[in-house]
């Protein structure tokens, strides 16, 4: 029975994680490169939301660059060949991206509320310089927030130092010390941004109801609400299962918690399933670029059409 439980995690590591991370790399790289190039080369007038979304995409792209090493690691039977430094760096980038994404999405929900509440006025929060300052502050804050994780994560040697593994954060370090930091990280990095988004989602919905009563105002109200609601859905579906299972996984490793081997392995398996689902945000975040307004979608599709027409015209001439 114990061998069967252990084999489940071996299958998940070798096939589930490898496949999922490979798909996320391909789709995430394609989507985020299109968005970044679109912003740099196509979008002339940047607004507050563009700045937050651009930083969100840069953060996603940095994380995407680590995925090929994780794909190789799990496909190779969890044997890490890239050295201790890259193990720590890749795990560090992974969590930095996750918590940066949450904060940038929280900022976007605030921006959407301000847009709906007073579309004719540029709030202090919506000024470009303020948005840039906020983004820089968030990069610094999350970098420092995740820094203690470096004391827990790293390579571990097995089978008389013949096998080197790059252990996941929830499975690394002293469980008692790690759990305290993890609870703090969950509260500050996950619950706080989610509460902010939830509050402004409700406020936006209430404001839209009031605006709908005023027939004299010809404002498009669907996109701001859709953007905030989508952010909440992404938070709920992608991040809640992951954070719940990460904490349960750490609790299962405590010395004073006496669980059967199979129970621990089942908890580990469910946690493993939740990990790549949480990282799907590098793909779903791209949806925000097309819902954020500011004619970004129209500019991108227009440039793609022009490129195709130009290519077909040259081909026809030749």
Q: Where are the domains of the chain?
A: 2-301
Quote the radius of gyration of the chain (alpha carbons, Å).
22
CA–centroid distance for 137 within its chain? 18
CATH of 2-301, one of 3.50.50.60, 1.20.1070.10, 1.10.3720.10, 3.40.640.10: 1.20.1070.10
Specify whether the CB–CB gap between 262 and 295 falls below 8 A: no
* Dist CA 178 CA 196 (whole Å): 26
**Is pLDDT at 221 greater than 70 in this prediction?**
no
Q: Which two tokens stand for residue 216?
A: 């004299």
pLDDT confidence of residue 40: 82
pLDDT confidence of residue 257: 81
Specify whether the CB–CB gap between 264 and 252 falls below 8 A: yes
Q: Which whole number is the average pLDDT over 62-84?
A: 92
**Range in 93-97, 252-256, 304-308 with the lowest mean pLDDT:** 304-308
Global pTM reads 0.83
How many residues does the structure list for the chain?
A: 318
- CA distance to 2, 49, 183, 204, per residue, from 223 (Å): 51, 13, 35, 11
What are the tens digits of pLDDT across the range 235-249?
788 899 999 999 999
**Is pLDDT at 23 greater than 90 in this prediction?**
yes
């Amino acid at each position: 029975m114990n061998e069967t439980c252990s084999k489940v995690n071996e299958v998940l590591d070798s096939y589930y994680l490898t496949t999922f991370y490979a798909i996320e790399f391909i789709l995430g790289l394609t989507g985020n490169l299109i968005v970044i190039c679109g912003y740099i080369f196509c979008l002339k007038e940047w607004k507050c939301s563009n700045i937050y979304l651009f930083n969100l995409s840069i953060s996603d792209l940095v994380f995407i660059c680590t995925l090929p090493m994780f794909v190789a690691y799990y496909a190779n039977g969890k044997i890490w060949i890239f050295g201790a430094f890259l193990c720590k760096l890749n795990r560090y980038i992974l969590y930095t991206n996750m918590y940066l994404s949450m904060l940038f999405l929280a900022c976007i929900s605030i921006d959407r509320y301000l847009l709906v509440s007073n579309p004719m006025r540029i709030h202090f929060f919506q000024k470009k310089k303020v948005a840039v300052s906020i983004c820089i502050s968030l990069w610094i804050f999350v970098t420092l927030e995740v820094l203690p994780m470096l004391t827990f994560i790293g390579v571990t040697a097995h089978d008389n130092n013949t096998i080197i593994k790059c252990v996941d954060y929830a499975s690394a370090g002293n469980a008692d010390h790690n759990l305290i930091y993890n609870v703090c990280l969950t509260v500050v990095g996950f619950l706080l941004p989610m509460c902010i988004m939830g509050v402004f989602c409700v406020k936006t919905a209430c404001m839209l109801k009031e605006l709908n009563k005023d027939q004299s105002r010809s404002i498009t109200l669907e996109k701001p609400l859709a953007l905030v609601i989508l952010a909440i859905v992404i938070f709920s579906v992608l991040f809640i299962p992951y954070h719940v299972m990460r904490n349960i996984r750490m609790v299962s490793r405590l010395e004073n918690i006496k669980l059967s081997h199979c129970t621990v392995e089942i908890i580990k398996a469910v946690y493993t399933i939740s990990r790549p689902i949480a990282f799907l945000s590098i793909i779903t975040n791209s949806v925000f670029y097309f819902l954020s307004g500011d004619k970004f979608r129209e500019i991108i599709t227009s440039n793609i059409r022009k490129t195709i027409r130009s290519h077909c015209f040259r081909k026809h001439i030749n």
